[in-house]
Amino acid sequence: MSDFKNLDPLLHSQLRLAIMSLLLGLQSAEFVFIKEKTGATAGNLSVQIDKLSKADYIKVEKAFKGKKPVTTCSITTTGVEAFENYVNALKNYIG
């Protein structure tokens, strides 16, 4: 049996990993902030956020500030655990 654990394919994507890393440090962030920090297009970011949300790694809340729609993402307990497991598995590869 191999000493190398499988890396979570959901987190083994540069943009999804960046989203999770940001949220881990901030607990929550607005879509526009995540877009600015990652340099992703709105469309691609939206798709990746949806994938993370469906896996229950992040929670997505939609609201309005006045008449302007605002999307806020926050990391879930499941997401924190998945991220920690991913980092630990990755350490095994480079370690």
- Give per-residue pLDDT as tens, 31-75: 999 999 999 999 999 999 999 999 999 999 999 999 999 999 999
Say if CB 94 and CB 86 are below 8 A apart.
no
Rounded Cα–Cα distance for residues 71 and 80 (Å): 20
Beta bridge partners of residue 28, listed in sequence order: 74
- Tell whether 68 is covered by a domain: yes
Return the closest-CA partner of residue 27 out of 52, 70, 58, 69: 58
Q: Is residue 66 in a domain?
A: yes
Evaluate if residue 88 carries a pLDDT over 80. Answer: yes
Whether 40 is covered by a domain: the verdict is yes
Residue 95: per-residue pLDDT: 73
Bridge-based pairing state of the strands 58-65 and 68-75: antiparallel
In this structure, how many other beta carbons lie within 10 angstroms of the beta carbon of residue 66? 6
Residue 70 sits in which domain range? 28-89
For residue 1, the model assigns a pLDDT of 43
Compute the average pLDDT of residues 17-31. Answer: 95
The mean per-residue pLDDT over the stretch 17-30 comes to: 95
